[in-house]
Amino acid sequence: MNDTPTVTPISPWLKSPLTDLTQAMVSHQWYGACADMEMKALDCLEAYGLDRGLTRCETLIKDFQECAQKNKQYKRITAMRLERHRQVFAGERSKAERYAPGPPHDSY
C-alpha cells in the first residue's frame, strides 16, 4: 500500500471561469472545524509546490485528512461497540446494561 498522502490538485486541469466560481465548493472553509488545518496544508503546498510539498507537508496533510474524515474516531467507536457486544455474548455484561443509561427526558 502506498503511504504517500493523496490530495486534490491545487490548480485544475482545465481552468475556466466556471472552475473559478465552483472552486470553493470542494473546500472545508465553510465547515469551520477543519478550516484552519486545510489552510495550513494548502499554504505549505503552495510554498513548496505540489511534488516537493507532498513530502515536506506530510504531517499537515495527514492531520487535515484525519480532521475531515475522522477515521481514527470511527475505528475507536467501532472497537468500543464490538467490545460491549463481546461482553454481552460472553456473559460479562447483561443485555440491559449493554449501553449506559441515557440522560433524563427533559434535559438538554
- The pLDDT value recorded for residue 12 is 58
C-beta atoms surrounding 38 within 10 Å: 20
| Cα 47 from Cα 33, distance rounded (Å) | 23
pTM metric for this prediction: 0.63
Over residues 11-67, the pLDDT tens digits come to 556 777 877 777 666 677 776 788 899 899 989 998 998 889 999 999 999 999 999
Give the H or E element holding residue 72.
helix 71-90
Place of cell 427533559: 106
